[in-house]
Amino acid sequence: MSLHLSPQMFIMVSLFIVRGVSGATFTFKNNCQYTVWPGILSSAGHPNLDSTGFELPKSSSRSFEAPPGWSGRFWGRTGCNFDANGQGSCTTGDCGSGQVECNGAGATPPATLAEFTLGSDSTTQDFYDVSLVDGYNLPMVVIARQSGSGKCPATGCVVDINLRCPTELRAENGDACRSACEAFGKPEFCCSGDYSTPNTCRPSEYSEMFKTACPRSYSYAYDDATSTFTCTGADYEITFCPTLARQKSPKGSPRTGPSGVMLADDLYLEDLAAADAGRVSLSFEIAFTVGIILMAFLLL
Protein backbone atom coordinates (compact mmCIF):
# COMPACT_ATOMS: atom_id res chain seq x y z
CA MET A 1 0.00 0.00 0.00
CA SER A 2 1.47 3.31 -1.07
CA LEU A 3 1.36 6.45 1.06
CA HIS A 4 0.50 9.60 -0.91
CA LEU A 5 1.69 12.98 0.40
CA SER A 6 1.02 16.45 -0.95
CA PRO A 7 4.15 18.41 -2.02
CA GLN A 8 3.75 20.72 0.99
CA MET A 9 3.45 17.83 3.41
CA PHE A 10 6.41 16.09 1.76
CA ILE A 11 8.62 19.17 2.31
CA MET A 12 7.52 19.52 5.93
CA VAL A 13 8.13 15.86 6.69
CA SER A 14 11.53 15.97 4.94
CA LEU A 15 12.59 19.01 6.96
CA PHE A 16 11.40 17.34 10.13
CA ILE A 17 13.47 14.25 9.36
CA VAL A 18 16.56 16.33 8.49
CA ARG A 19 16.48 18.55 11.55
CA GLY A 20 14.52 16.23 13.80
CA VAL A 21 13.39 17.39 17.20
CA SER A 22 16.80 18.44 18.50
CA GLY A 23 15.98 22.15 18.70
CA ALA A 24 19.07 24.16 17.71
CA THR A 25 22.84 24.08 17.97
CA PHE A 26 24.53 27.18 19.41
CA THR A 27 28.19 27.60 18.47
CA PHE A 28 30.31 30.14 20.32
CA LYS A 29 33.38 31.55 18.55
CA ASN A 30 36.00 33.79 20.12
CA ASN A 31 37.74 36.12 17.67
CA CYS A 32 38.97 38.42 20.46
CA GLN A 33 42.68 38.69 21.21
CA TYR A 34 41.96 37.49 24.74
CA THR A 35 40.05 34.73 26.50
CA VAL A 36 36.29 35.17 26.95
CA TRP A 37 34.23 33.24 29.51
CA PRO A 38 30.68 32.94 28.07
CA GLY A 39 27.78 32.76 30.49
CA ILE A 40 24.51 30.96 29.77
CA LEU A 41 21.23 31.62 31.57
CA SER A 42 18.09 29.61 30.76
CA SER A 43 14.78 31.40 31.25
CA ALA A 44 12.54 30.31 34.11
CA GLY A 45 11.00 26.89 33.43
CA HIS A 46 13.56 25.97 30.77
CA PRO A 47 16.32 23.36 31.22
CA ASN A 48 19.98 24.25 31.57
CA LEU A 49 22.24 23.49 28.63
CA ASP A 50 25.35 21.34 29.10
CA SER A 51 27.11 24.28 30.75
CA THR A 52 26.11 27.54 32.41
CA GLY A 53 29.56 29.10 32.01
CA PHE A 54 32.89 28.08 30.47
CA GLU A 55 36.28 29.28 29.28
CA LEU A 56 36.66 30.09 25.58
CA PRO A 57 40.30 30.87 24.63
CA LYS A 58 40.99 33.13 21.66
CA SER A 59 40.54 31.54 18.22
CA SER A 60 38.49 28.68 19.68
CA SER A 61 34.86 27.56 19.49
CA ARG A 62 32.43 25.35 21.39
CA SER A 63 28.91 24.13 20.59
CA PHE A 64 25.83 23.27 22.66
CA GLU A 65 22.51 21.65 21.82
CA ALA A 66 19.28 23.32 22.98
CA PRO A 67 15.88 21.56 22.97
CA PRO A 68 12.84 22.83 21.01
CA GLY A 69 11.12 25.75 22.72
CA TRP A 70 14.22 26.66 24.73
CA SER A 71 14.58 30.28 25.86
CA GLY A 72 17.55 32.02 27.43
CA ARG A 73 20.47 34.40 27.03
CA PHE A 74 24.21 34.37 26.43
CA TRP A 75 26.94 36.87 27.19
CA GLY A 76 30.72 37.11 27.39
CA ARG A 77 32.64 37.65 30.62
CA THR A 78 36.04 39.35 30.41
CA GLY A 79 39.00 39.90 32.71
CA CYS A 80 38.28 36.71 34.61
CA ASN A 81 40.61 35.13 37.14
CA PHE A 82 39.78 31.58 38.24
CA ASP A 83 41.94 29.24 40.28
CA ALA A 84 42.55 25.54 39.70
CA ASN A 85 39.24 24.74 41.44
CA GLY A 86 37.26 27.05 39.16
CA GLN A 87 36.79 29.67 41.87
CA GLY A 88 37.09 33.36 41.02
CA SER A 89 35.39 36.33 39.38
CA CYS A 90 35.36 38.49 36.26
CA THR A 91 35.87 42.21 35.60
CA THR A 92 32.86 42.51 33.25
CA GLY A 93 29.74 40.36 32.86
CA ASP A 94 30.41 38.55 36.14
CA CYS A 95 27.50 36.36 37.23
CA GLY A 96 28.31 36.47 40.94
CA SER A 97 28.54 32.70 41.35
CA GLY A 98 32.20 32.84 42.30
CA GLN A 99 32.80 30.03 39.81
CA VAL A 100 33.36 29.44 36.10
CA GLU A 101 29.83 27.98 35.98
CA CYS A 102 27.14 30.62 36.52
CA ASN A 103 24.71 28.08 38.03
CA GLY A 104 21.51 29.95 37.20
CA ALA A 105 22.81 33.47 37.81
CA GLY A 106 22.69 36.21 35.16
CA ALA A 107 25.21 38.80 34.04
CA THR A 108 26.02 41.77 36.23
CA PRO A 109 25.56 44.89 34.06
CA PRO A 110 27.01 46.23 31.93
CA ALA A 111 27.05 43.31 29.52
CA THR A 112 26.22 42.70 25.85
CA LEU A 113 23.46 40.06 25.71
CA ALA A 114 22.26 37.64 23.02
CA GLU A 115 18.68 36.52 23.70
CA PHE A 116 16.84 33.59 22.11
CA THR A 117 13.44 31.94 22.16
CA LEU A 118 13.37 28.83 19.97
CA GLY A 119 10.30 27.57 18.16
CA SER A 120 8.53 24.53 19.56
CA ASP A 121 9.46 22.48 16.47
CA SER A 122 11.34 22.79 13.18
CA THR A 123 8.46 24.61 11.46
CA THR A 124 7.84 27.42 13.98
CA GLN A 125 9.84 30.62 14.27
CA ASP A 126 12.78 31.31 16.52
CA PHE A 127 13.13 34.83 17.92
CA TYR A 128 16.54 36.34 18.64
CA ASP A 129 18.20 39.66 19.39
CA VAL A 130 21.35 41.29 20.72
CA SER A 131 20.60 43.68 23.56
CA LEU A 132 22.47 46.67 24.95
CA VAL A 133 19.66 47.51 27.38
CA ASP A 134 21.89 46.32 30.24
CA GLY A 135 24.89 48.12 28.77
CA TYR A 136 27.85 46.88 26.73
CA ASN A 137 31.12 45.10 27.42
CA LEU A 138 32.33 43.58 24.11
CA PRO A 139 31.35 43.22 20.43
CA MET A 140 29.04 40.31 19.62
CA VAL A 141 27.31 39.08 16.47
CA VAL A 142 24.62 36.41 15.97
CA ILE A 143 24.37 34.57 12.64
CA ALA A 144 21.73 31.99 11.65
CA ARG A 145 23.39 28.92 10.13
CA GLN A 146 22.47 25.70 8.27
CA SER A 147 19.05 25.29 6.62
CA GLY A 148 17.16 28.08 8.35
CA SER A 149 14.20 29.51 6.43
CA GLY A 150 12.95 33.08 6.42
CA LYS A 151 15.02 36.26 6.28
CA CYS A 152 17.26 35.12 9.17
CA PRO A 153 19.39 38.30 9.25
CA ALA A 154 22.66 38.61 11.10
CA THR A 155 22.42 40.94 14.07
CA GLY A 156 24.62 42.29 16.81
CA CYS A 157 27.07 45.02 17.70
CA VAL A 158 30.41 45.05 15.86
CA VAL A 159 31.66 48.38 17.20
CA ASP A 160 33.83 48.74 20.29
CA ILE A 161 31.53 51.13 22.13
CA ASN A 162 33.96 51.28 25.04
CA LEU A 163 36.15 53.56 22.91
CA ARG A 164 33.27 56.04 22.53
CA CYS A 165 31.47 55.60 25.83
CA PRO A 166 30.54 58.91 27.52
CA THR A 167 32.50 59.55 30.70
CA GLU A 168 29.39 59.34 32.87
CA LEU A 169 28.61 55.83 31.56
CA ARG A 170 32.10 54.34 31.71
CA ALA A 171 32.62 51.35 33.98
CA GLU A 172 35.47 49.07 35.02
CA ASN A 173 38.19 51.53 33.97
CA GLY A 174 36.76 51.78 30.47
CA ASP A 175 36.29 48.04 29.92
CA ALA A 176 32.49 48.41 29.80
CA CYS A 177 29.80 51.02 29.11
CA ARG A 178 26.77 51.30 31.39
CA SER A 179 23.20 51.97 30.32
CA ALA A 180 21.64 55.25 31.46
CA CYS A 181 19.26 53.22 33.63
CA GLU A 182 22.12 51.64 35.55
CA ALA A 183 24.12 54.87 35.70
CA PHE A 184 21.35 57.20 36.88
CA GLY A 185 18.45 54.97 38.00
CA LYS A 186 15.81 57.39 36.72
CA PRO A 187 12.39 56.00 35.64
CA GLU A 188 12.59 57.73 32.25
CA PHE A 189 15.80 55.83 31.52
CA CYS A 190 14.61 52.54 33.06
CA CYS A 191 11.11 52.55 31.48
CA SER A 192 9.60 52.16 34.94
CA GLY A 193 6.94 53.93 37.04
CA ASP A 194 5.23 56.61 34.96
CA TYR A 195 7.43 55.63 32.01
CA SER A 196 6.53 51.93 31.87
CA THR A 197 4.72 51.87 28.51
CA PRO A 198 5.92 52.26 24.90
CA ASN A 199 4.06 55.57 24.69
CA THR A 200 5.71 57.09 27.75
CA CYS A 201 9.21 55.60 27.58
CA ARG A 202 11.04 57.14 24.66
CA PRO A 203 14.64 56.88 23.43
CA SER A 204 17.08 59.04 25.37
CA GLU A 205 20.28 60.69 24.12
CA TYR A 206 22.14 57.78 25.71
CA SER A 207 20.06 55.00 24.15
CA GLU A 208 20.36 56.80 20.82
CA MET A 209 24.14 56.72 21.23
CA PHE A 210 23.95 52.91 21.49
CA LYS A 211 21.48 52.73 18.59
CA THR A 212 23.63 54.90 16.35
CA ALA A 213 26.64 52.71 17.02
CA CYS A 214 24.75 49.41 16.67
CA PRO A 215 21.52 49.92 14.65
CA ARG A 216 20.30 46.31 14.88
CA SER A 217 20.74 45.95 18.64
CA TYR A 218 18.25 46.73 21.40
CA SER A 219 19.06 50.15 22.82
CA TYR A 220 16.20 50.50 25.33
CA ALA A 221 13.29 48.42 26.61
CA TYR A 222 10.80 49.19 23.81
CA ASP A 223 13.19 49.07 20.87
CA ASP A 224 11.46 45.97 19.43
CA ALA A 225 10.66 47.05 15.87
CA THR A 226 14.26 47.25 14.64
CA SER A 227 15.91 44.83 17.03
CA THR A 228 14.05 41.48 17.18
CA PHE A 229 14.59 39.00 14.34
CA THR A 230 13.18 35.63 13.33
CA CYS A 231 14.29 32.45 11.61
CA THR A 232 12.87 28.94 11.31
CA GLY A 233 14.78 25.68 11.73
CA ALA A 234 18.24 27.26 12.07
CA ASP A 235 21.36 26.74 14.14
CA TYR A 236 23.13 29.82 15.47
CA GLU A 237 26.67 31.12 15.74
CA ILE A 238 27.53 33.65 18.44
CA THR A 239 30.82 35.39 17.70
CA PHE A 240 32.72 37.60 20.13
CA CYS A 241 34.83 40.34 18.48
CA PRO A 242 33.79 39.68 14.85
CA THR A 243 36.22 40.86 12.17
CA LEU A 244 35.36 44.38 11.07
CA ALA A 245 35.85 43.75 7.36
CA ARG A 246 33.45 46.48 6.29
CA GLN A 247 33.98 48.97 9.12
CA LYS A 248 35.48 51.58 6.77
CA SER A 249 33.56 53.64 4.25
CA PRO A 250 34.50 53.31 0.53
CA LYS A 251 36.85 56.30 0.96
CA GLY A 252 38.57 54.64 3.89
CA SER A 253 37.30 56.94 6.63
CA PRO A 254 35.17 55.71 9.54
CA ARG A 255 31.46 56.40 9.27
CA THR A 256 30.24 58.50 12.20
CA GLY A 257 26.87 59.51 13.58
CA PRO A 258 25.78 63.01 14.60
CA SER A 259 27.45 62.64 18.02
CA GLY A 260 30.76 61.46 16.54
CA VAL A 261 30.03 57.83 17.46
CA MET A 262 31.37 55.39 14.89
CA LEU A 263 28.52 53.53 13.22
CA ALA A 264 28.24 49.78 13.06
CA ASP A 265 28.20 49.09 9.34
CA ASP A 266 24.89 47.41 8.48
CA LEU A 267 26.57 46.33 5.25
CA TYR A 268 29.01 44.32 7.36
CA LEU A 269 26.17 42.36 8.96
CA GLU A 270 24.54 41.93 5.58
CA ASP A 271 27.85 40.67 4.19
CA LEU A 272 28.02 38.07 6.96
CA ALA A 273 24.63 36.74 5.91
CA ALA A 274 25.46 36.95 2.19
CA ALA A 275 28.79 35.19 2.59
CA ASP A 276 27.05 32.43 4.48
CA ALA A 277 24.20 32.15 1.97
CA GLY A 278 26.15 29.91 -0.41
CA ARG A 279 27.19 27.58 2.39
CA VAL A 280 23.66 27.54 3.77
CA SER A 281 22.21 26.80 0.35
CA LEU A 282 24.63 23.91 -0.17
CA SER A 283 23.97 22.55 3.32
CA PHE A 284 20.25 22.75 2.71
CA GLU A 285 20.54 20.96 -0.63
CA ILE A 286 22.54 18.13 0.93
CA ALA A 287 20.18 17.85 3.89
CA PHE A 288 17.11 17.98 1.68
CA THR A 289 18.53 15.27 -0.57
CA VAL A 290 19.04 13.06 2.49
CA GLY A 291 15.43 13.77 3.47
CA ILE A 292 14.19 12.74 0.02
CA ILE A 293 16.14 9.47 0.18
CA LEU A 294 14.71 8.70 3.61
CA MET A 295 11.21 9.52 2.44
CA ALA A 296 11.65 7.24 -0.59
CA PHE A 297 12.41 4.31 1.73
CA LEU A 298 9.33 5.17 3.82
CA LEU A 299 7.11 5.25 0.74
CA LEU A 300 8.27 1.85 -0.59
Domain CATH number, residue 212: 2.60.110.10
User: Model's pTM, two decimal places?
Assistant: 0.79
Side chain identity, residue 173:
N
Q: Is residue 246 included in any domain, yes or no?
A: yes
Task: Give tens-digit pLDDT for 169-190.
Answer: 999 999 999 999 999 999 999 9
- Omega within 30 of 0 (cis) for the link into 110: yes
Q: Is residue 225 included in any domain, yes or no?
A: yes
pLDDT at 1 over 50: no
pLDDT at 252 over 80: no
Task: Give tens-digit pLDDT for 132-162.
Answer: 999 999 999 999 986 668 889 999 999 999 9
Q: Is residue 183 included in any domain, yes or no?
A: yes
Distance CA 266, CA 226 (A): 12
Q: Is residue 77 included in any domain, yes or no?
A: yes
Q: Is residue 1 included in any domain, yes or no?
A: no
| Residue 211: domain span | 7-299
Half-sphere exposure (Cβ direction) of 132: Cα atoms closer than 13 Å: 38
Which residues, 6 or more positions from 151, have their beta carbon under 8 angstroms from its beta carbon?
A: 229, 230, 231
Task: Give tens-digit pLDDT for 257-271.
Answer: 333 333 344 555 555
Side chain identity, residue 161:
I
Q: Is residue 2 included in any domain, yes or no?
A: no
**Residue 91 in contact with residue 73, Cβ under 8 Å?**
no
Task: Give tens-digit pLDDT for 23-68.
Answer: 899 999 999 999 999 999 999 999 999 999 999 999 999 999 999 9
Domain count, the chain: 1
Q: Is residue 112 included in any domain, yes or no?
A: yes
- The confidence score (pLDDT) of residue 121 equals 85
Q: At what angle do helices 266-299 and 7-19 cross, to 10 degrees?
A: 110
Q: Is residue 79 included in any domain, yes or no?
A: yes
